[in-house]
Chain A
Amino acid sequence: MSQTERKIRVLIAKPGLDGHDRGAKVVARALRDAGMEVIYTGLRQTPEMIAEAALQEDVDVVGLSVLSGAHMALAPRVIELLEANGQDHVKVFLGGIIPDEDVGKLKEIGVARIYGPGTLTDEIVGDIRKGVLEEVAR
């Protein structure tokens, strides 16, 4: 086994107040099975907690799961904090119930991908691999 293998590290977090973490867990499990290292932080995380964990864990990707409808407040705040910490390279993926009219605005502020109900986990795995591999080595 190569000693210098580089693992993709992903933070899966649930910001905000809804308690539905099934989707987040399914995605965490799928990413694990795809060979990634998933740091799972659990429910009711503030954007500050998420950005702090992303920094300490030096992740490549942050996956947010929001089903509370507060995504327009939470996602931009997470991105803002990541940038303030010097982690501009971290890709932010968002999953949950996101109305179509919000999608354009979220992509504009830097959300890489948005996944609604029924998304295949293979699609997420593929997107993350592509997103991270395309990132220029820092």
Chain B
Amino acid sequence: MASVREVLSGDRLSLARLLSQIENDTIEGRAALSELFPHTGNAHLIGVTGAPGTGKSSLVNQLAHHFRHPPESIPPRRVAIVAVDPSSPFSGGAVLGDRVRMRDLAGDPGIFIRSMASRGSLGGLARTTSGVVQAFDAAGFEIILIETVGAGQAEVDIARLAHTTLVVEAPGLGDDIQAIKAGILEIADILVINKADRTGVENTERALRTMLDLAHPIQRVYRHHGSLEVVPSSIAESPQEESVWIPPIQKTIALDGTGVQELGDQIARHKAHLEKTGEWESRGRTRLQAELDNLLQNTLVNRWRDSLSPERYQEIFEQLIERNLSPRQAVDALLNGGPRR
């Protein structure tokens, strides 16, 4: 396939077109991904998620700039950005507006920004985002920043895709009960409090800190006869202390770049940690396993559906509407009745 060679040689138009093929899940796109796959596995995948309006796009803009213009002694890296915004559940259309915050990055050939619509997927990414990321990886981008749909509490697909997941918070978005709920905060490798110049930043930080202390008790403080007694936990004493990653909290102001350098350092520290503990490989394994399972499921469902006659489906469905069958019984009837042509 011609375009694969061009993508590997760095041709941007071929890459852009291939990304569309992947997004549209065409035969050509699938074939190209298979050819590109041996060239993947080199990029550092960094996820950026958080509620709408916390400043994810502005932060991605600053981070990309940071990786392109690093402090001396570190070579600049090629950066790809995949920015996902929601599709309308009614029209299927979308307004993808993340580029508005990324205008500083224009004109830099070491940067490639691609906007994606979620196209009905609910986990904060599009179904084909991992394919798009693989194409960037194969094309030699060393850093891939993946910005999710503005996420609430359960859009956690990004943690399965990325090596390093940043969860972006902003002051004033919720109390400490939000911070102990399950879901998005749990997937953070690094917690970012953006808009740190706003009032209430201390409260946000305290709530997150409390949550972290509950999850990773370094030292426990007991009330003992009215005085405080500090009891170090087993983690702190254990010799493998460094094998436990405790998500740091980094305050940033994405509009002026405050804290971005430090955030970049935290990301580098996390990568080093992953490599040292072998988690880099294990996360890669988990990601590929999830991808294999997903693909297997989709393919099986599609294959089975293709062999099912629409009349048979309609017939069972009518029985469901009449309440002669429960949804579970309808599934059994469709599967056990055997797909008929």
Do A and B bind? Answer: yes
Question: Does A124 belong to the interface (CB within 8 Å)?
Answer: no
Which among B94-102, B238-246, B259-267 touches the partner chain?
B94-102
By the criterion CB–CB under 8 Å, are B106 and A48 in contact? yes
A119 CB to nearest B CB, Å: 19
| For the complex of A and B, 10 pairs with smallest distance between CB atoms | A42-B100, A32-B93, A58-B16, A49-B106, A35-B93, A3-B25, A58-B20, A35-B92, A35-B91, A40-B97
The answer to whether residues A4 and B91 also contact, given A55-B16, A56-B112, A57-B16 and a CB cut-off of 8 A, is: no
Report how far A60 CA is from B179 CA in the complex, Å.
Answer: 43
Could you tell me if B99 and A58 are in contact, using CB atoms closer than 8 angstroms? Answer: no
Shortest C-beta distance, A42 to chain B (Å), equals 4
Contact A85 B13 (CB under 8 A): yes
Q: Is A38 an interface residue (CB 8 A)?
A: yes
Q: Which of A4-56 contact B (CB under 8 A)?
A: 4-7, 9, 28-29, 31-42, 45-46, 48-49, 52-53, 55-56
Q: Is the CB of A32 within 8 A of B95?
A: yes
**B interface majority secondary structure:** mixed
Question: Per-position contact with A for B5-29: 1 when CB-CB < 8 Å, else 0?
Answer: 0000000110011011000111000
Q: Is A56 touching B94 in the complex (CB atoms < 8 A)? A: no
- Whether A86 lies near B100 (C-beta < 8 A) is no
**Residue A136 CB within 8 A of the other chain:** no
Partner of B93, one of A34, A40, A53, A85: A34
CA distance A29 to B95 in the complex (A): 7
Complex formed: what's the CA distance from A31 to B88 in Å?
11
Q: Mark B103-115, 1 if CB is under 8 A from A, else 0.
A: 1001100001111
B residues at A contact (CB < 8 Å):
12-13, 16-17, 19-20, 24-26, 87-88, 90-97, 99-100, 103, 106-107, 112-115, 117, 119-120, 298, 302
Residue of A39, A53, A57 with highest tally of chain B CB at under 10 A: A39
- Most A CB contacts (10 A, CB to CB) among B93, B97, B298 go to B93
Q: How many residues of A contact B (CB 8 A)?
A: 34
Can you offer 20 A-B residue contacts whose CB atoms are under 8 A? A3-B25, A3-B298, A6-B24, A7-B119, A33-B88, A35-B93, A37-B93, A37-B94, A38-B94, A40-B95, A40-B96, A42-B97, A42-B99, A42-B100, A46-B106, A53-B99, A55-B13, A56-B16, A57-B16, A57-B115
Number of A-B contacts (CB under 8 A): 89
Beyond the given A7-B24, A35-B88, A38-B94, please list 13 additional residue pairs across the A-B interface where CB-CB is below 8 A. Answer: A4-B25, A4-B26, A32-B88, A32-B94, A37-B94, A38-B93, A42-B97, A42-B100, A49-B103, A52-B107, A53-B106, A56-B12, A56-B16
Residue from A58, A86, A87 having most chain B Cβ neighbours under 10 A: A58
Q: What B residues does A32 contact at CB under 8 A?
A: 88, 91, 93-95
A73 within 8 A of B: no
Residues of A within 8 A of B113 (CB): 53, 56
A37 to nearest B CB, angstroms? 5
Which residue of A has the minimal Cβ distance to B114?
A56
**Selected contact of A39 from candidates B91, B96, B120, CB within 8 Å:** B96
Q: Which residues of A contact B107 (CB under 8 A)?
A: 48-49, 52
**Closest chain B residue to A8, Cβ basis:** B93
Query: What residues of A have a CB within 8 angstroms of the CB of B12 in the complex?
Result: 55-56
Q: Is the CB of B96 within 8 A of A38?
A: yes
